[in-house]
Amino acid sequence: MSDKTTPPRGLSRPGKWARGAAGVAVLFLASEALGRAGIVDRSFLPPASSVTARAVELFGDSDFLSNVRVTLTAWALGLAIAVAIAVPLGLLLGSVPAVNTAVRAIVEFLRPIPSVALIPLAGLILGSGLNMEVPLIVYACCWPILFNTMYGLHDVDPLAKETLRSFGFNRMQVLIRVSLRSAAPFIATGVRLSASVALILAVGTEILSGFGDGLGMFIAQAGTVPEGTRDVLAGTVWAGCIGLIIDTVLVQAENRAFRWHLAQRSGAS
Amino acid sequence: MERPQTEKAKEMLQITGLTHSYADGHRAIDGLDLTVPDGQLLSIVGPSGCGKSTLLRCIAGLLRPTSGTLTLNGAPINGVPDDLAVVFQDYSRSLFPWLTVRDNVALPLRRRGMSRKERRAAAQEALASVGLPDAGRKYPWQLSGGMQQRVSIARALAYRPSLLLMDEPFGSVDAQTREDLEDLVLQVHRTQKITILLVTHDIDESVYVGDRVVVLNRSPARVHADLPVGLPSGRDQIETRGLPQFVQLRAEVGRLVRGGAKVPGAAPASGGRG
């Protein structure tokens, strides 16, 4: 907080990009060499160029794209519902100590259960497709958002609340206009964490549920076909790219929306 | 200020037997009586931690007193009064960093039932009145400390309170800025004709700014002394501070703050010069 002119830490932006690209290139070449050298069977580990070519080819495959659309729909729906549930719940738990104490035990019991462990149960009760995917995603995504909301509320400056209160705003108005706004950067981080969790759950559920549509289904089915490794890996590349794009977009959006938060954190005041 | 401050002057704020104890049993205020006439600029000084801020929070309706009564404009203070605004010491925490300067100033006006356009116009006007006509689109953290405190003052003024409370408002700025802000408060008091209650631990400031200085006891707070400030109203940082009257009064207040005995003949809580 004390140093006003933050010294540039590490590399410049282009420098970072160059290093990142170099890392990708090395991995790509290594995998290419490994695939072509014949150390492992080509049908088990196809060279990187072949996987990449297949991944690009899938871009024009309407069946595959509709699978991706199914996965993304489940992702978006699950994440949106999770936000709609976890943010108000976090506000309630974070601002009313009595409710927090009452709910604590349930939360502490549910939280350690890995969401993936619930897939068979969800399959039994909810069948397949969105009906089952979305509730699982919602369940898994609620936690990071809920905890970050509560953490963010805990961090709200009491003087900021008192200021608005001194202008006659009531508790609810202070909660929305100060606490929620002040906690928003923390909530956004929770949403970003949940966005990754949601993608893992969406693809994972599809892979494990055994039937239906989706990117996970595409990967699972490719795995049952001889010579299918190339499709499995191409599908995985897609999943990775989607995850990367989502994360990048959310990070950028956070930086843009919460410039005030960064400015404060770096002690610009 | 040449205001008639006789016993018949309208009372803005009346505090009787105010006592406040915190939950841990610490008694911050003990049976405090204070009357502030309409239009006065009252300085309240006292040693650090004497309960000044607690007093101010009780007046603002942010703390419920343990006992005693407070009335503002004749109505008992029960919850946060409508025609009152507070300027806190810590401007960087009191201004909302996610809002622009103009939106910070305009936000409390929602309570006044004004349209968005009216709120913005009022905010702009208030910013101009504190010498920041061009800062509206900036964010508070892009401004210097003194400018941020000006924004806090503009926010309070835009709200058009009849009583303005200031809790050590210049405790976190450098000396030069402090003097500028003191003059701003004097100017605001002169032009807007509002009652101002300025809490400070700075003895010079209490005398320079005030029409009247109330000295509080060491905790628990009670009125220790109540002095009229007979300085000419057109105050000047260099000239006024050089006046023999100023020097004498400052020494007197300083002695009282350090726990000295009351001056013989000093008026009790009714104050004024009448």
For chain A, what percent of residues have pLDDT higher than 90? 48
CA distance A182 to chain B (A): 8
Nearest CB partner across the interface for A163, out of B94, B140, B148: B94
- Say if residue B267's pLDDT is above 50: no
Q: What is the pLDDT of residue B1?
A: 43
- A181 touches B: beta carbon within 8 Å: yes
Q: What is the pLDDT of residues B131-175, one digit of tens each?
A: 999 999 999 999 999 999 999 999 999 999 999 999 999 888 888
Are the C-beta atoms of residues B143 and B135 closer than 8 Å to each other?
Answer: yes
**Which stretches of chain B are assigned E, i.e. beta strand?**
11-21, 27-37, 41-45, 67-72, 75-76, 84-87, 163-167, 195-200, 212-216, 223-228
Please tell me whether the peptide bond between B220 and the residue prior to it is cis, using omega within 30 degrees of 0. yes
CA–CA separation, A20 vs A10, rounded Å?
A: 14
- Mean pLDDT along residues A137-162: 93
Helix A229-257 / helix A215-222 crossing angle, nearest 10 deg: 160
DSSP string of B47-105? STTSSHHHHHHHHTTSS--SEEEEEETTEE--SS-TTEEEE-S-HHHHS-TTS-HHHHH
pTM assigned to the model:
0.84
Are the C-beta atoms of residues B226 and B172 closer than 8 Å to each other?
Answer: no
CA distances from A31 to A6, A40, A108, A186, A239 (A): 40, 11, 43, 39, 19
Which residues are B216's β-sheet partners?
B223
- Say if residue B24's pLDDT is above 60: yes
- B190 touches A: beta carbon within 8 Å: no
Question: A 150-169 residues with CB below 8 A of B?
Answer: 157, 159-160, 162-169
Q: What are the b/e assignments for A123-148, b being 16+ CB within 10 Å? A: beebebbbebbbbbbbbbbbbbbbbb
| Most B-contacting residue of A163, A165, A182 (CB-CB within 10 A), to test interface | A163
Q: Is A181–B139 a contact, with Cβ atoms under 8 angstroms apart? A: no
- Say if residue B74's pLDDT is above 90: no
- Say if residue B5's pLDDT is above 50: no
Helix B175-192 / helix B145-158 crossing angle, nearest 10 deg: 20
Q: What is the pLDDT of residue B4?
A: 46
CA distances from B18 to B58, B164, B195 (A): 9, 20, 20
CA distance B268 to chain A (A): 30
Q: What is the pLDDT of residue A8?
A: 52
Q: What is the pLDDT of residue B232?
A: 83
DSSP string of B252-273? HHHHHHTTPPPPTT---TT-S-
- Say if residue A4's pLDDT is above 80: no
Classify residue A16 as left (phi > 0), alpha (psi -120 to 50) or beta: alpha
* Phi, psi (degrees; rounded to nearest 5) at B251: -65, -40
Nearest CB partner across the interface for B93, out of A160, A166, A184: A160
Please state the domain extents for chain A.
Answer: 69-268
Nearest CB partner across the interface for A269, out of B88, B94, B141: B141
- Say if residue A140's pLDDT is above 90: yes
CA–CA separation, A33 vs B180, rounded Å?
A: 73
CA distance A172 to chain B (A): 14
Q: What are the b/e assignments for B146-178, b being 16+ CB within 10 Å? A: bbbbbbbbbbbbbbebbbbbbbbbbbbbeeebb
- Say if residue B59's pLDDT is above 90: yes
Contacts of A261 in chain B (CB under 8 A): 97-98
- Say if residue A43's pLDDT is above 90: no
- Mean pLDDT along residues A93-115: 86
Torsion of CA B44, B47, B51, B54, to 10 degrees: 60
Q: Is A181–B98 a contact, with Cβ atoms under 8 angstroms apart? A: yes
Burial grade of B113 (CB within 10 A; 0-12, 13-18, 19 or more): exposed
| Most B-contacting residue of A159, A161, A167 (CB-CB within 10 A), to test interface | A167
CA–CA separation, A265 vs A191, rounded Å?
A: 20
- Say if residue A5's pLDDT is above 50: no
CA–CA separation, B233 vs B231, rounded Å?
A: 6
Instruction: Give all strands of the β-sheet with B163-167 in edge-to-edge order.
Output: B84-87, B163-167, B195-200, B41-45, B212-216, B223-228
More confident residue, A196 or A212: A196
More confident residue, A18 or A246: A246
pLDDT class for A129, splitting at 50, 70, 90? confident
* ipTM given for this complex: 0.85
Per DSSP bridges, beta strands B195-200 and B41-45 are parallel
CA–CA separation, A220 vs B151, rounded Å?
A: 61
Q: What is the pLDDT of residue B154?
A: 95
Which tokens belong to A228?
């299918």
**Domain spanning A69-268, CATH architecture:** Orthogonal Bundle (1.10)
Nearest CB partner across the interface for B97, out of A159, A177, A264: A264
- Say if residue A269's pLDDT is above 80: no
Q: What is the pLDDT of residue B262?
A: 66
pLDDT class for A15, splitting at 50, 70, 90? confident
